[in-house]
Amino acid sequence: MTRICFLTSADMMKDRPGAREDWFEFDLEFGALSKACEAAGISLEACIWDQDFDASVYDGFMVGTVWDYPPKLDNFLKTLDRLNAIAPVWNSPALVRWNIEKTYLRELDEASAPSIPTLWADKADDAAIAQGFERFGGDKLVVKPLVGGGAWRQALIRKGEPLPSADELPLGACLIQPFLPGVPEEGGYSMIFFGDRFSHGLNKRPKSGDYRVQSLYGATEAVWTPGEDELALARKVLSTAQDITGEDAFLYARVDMVRGLDGELALMELEIIEPYLYPEQGPDLGEVFVEALKEKLG
């Protein structure tokens, strides 16, 4: 039987000390994928990425819910390289390196993908924030680190107010964007693909008074069926990323979009490292994933 390793992090195990509040997302995602794999004669097995396991028994490795990697980035990338020398890692270490810094958004923007206006800064200090307000206007900005996910060290800055503490701001280089009123009003939209196959879409809405669309901060999700225009927009982002990286269809990808200041959908993130795949909103997710996985296995 073909054996595939699903990489996860220790803090996604509900019975371990220090488990995240959203540990259940591992259970939901791995449950849906492993069940579909089993039906196809494939064994999908979870391993904690930074703990010892026998990698030689696997025919491939999927980067799954490895959500503790940002502070351990160097070790994470070395681990992916080591595993890739044994069997293929999906998505590939080269693709992970391209996607891991949000500077990939600048490349997509330069290639005409629909984008949010962004100021790139070496540090989230008073000078950079002042430049952001001067460039974008408005009374609120959002600051994000170049490396990180799940709103880690992401901050909402209000004009005229002191900056948050250093512990709440990006550690170094960052991106600064205008606050988008459409996010608290209608949330964000995600489209999930396996290979070149669209699986499902969803609308993620922040809780009242917040703007973050992760369940960790009280956001909720609902099924959303994109129209042909929205799907075409997402496919354009994917094809542009493939052209830039020279990679063929990604095993998995999540295209996150929000309503821009012009009223049109724009790319918030292209998640191709360890995105949550929202199985609750995609009842056929497992089957679509298996078809793409079979193509990767050859």
**Domain total for the chain?**
3
Of 245, 141, 228, which is closest to residue 191 (Cα–Cα)? 228
| 3-state DSSP assignment of residue 48 | strand
* Helices and strands: H and E segment counts in the chain: 8, 13
- The whole-angstrom separation of Cα 77 and Cα 75 is 6
Same domain, 90 and 10: yes
Query: What integer pLDDT is reported at residue 215 of this predicted model?
Result: 79
Radius of gyration of the chain (CA): 19
Are the C-beta atoms of residues 61 and 4 closer than 8 Å to each other?
yes
Pair 199, 263 in one domain = yes
Query: Could you tell me which residues come within 8 angstroms of residue 54 by beta carbon, excluding any fewer than 6 positions away?
Result: none
Rounded Cα gap, residues 188 and 60, in angstroms? 32
Q: Give the range of the structural domain holding residue 217, as residue numbers without chain letter.
A: 102-114+183-280
pLDDT given for residue 219 in this prediction: 86
The string of pLDDT tens digits covering residues 136-195 is: 988 999 998 888 766 667 788 898 888 777 677 877 889 999 999 888 889 999 999 999
Same domain for 132 and 89: no
Cα 253 to Cα 193: distance, rounded to the nearest angstrom: 5
Residue 293 belongs to a domain: no
Residue 144 contacts residue 154 (beta carbons within 8 Å): yes
Q: How many residues are listed for the chain in this entry?
A: 298
C-alpha neighbours within 13 Å on the C-beta side of residue 284: 11
Same structural domain for residues 126 and 175? yes
Question: In 3-state terms, what secondary structure has residue 233?
Answer: helix
Where among 179, 205, 227 does a domain terminate? 179
pLDDT of residue 190: 97
The pLDDT, as a whole number, for residue 151 is 60
Pairing of strands 265-271, 253-259: antiparallel
Supply 255's token pair.
């295209």
Q: Exposed/middle/buried for 175, CB within 10 Å: 0-12, 13-18, 19+?
A: buried
Residue 217: per-residue pLDDT:
79
Q: Is residue 298 in some structural domain?
A: no
pLDDT of residue 150: 61
Which residues of the chain, if any, have pLDDT below 70? 149-152, 166
Q: Which residues pair with 7 in a beta bridge?
A: 47, 63
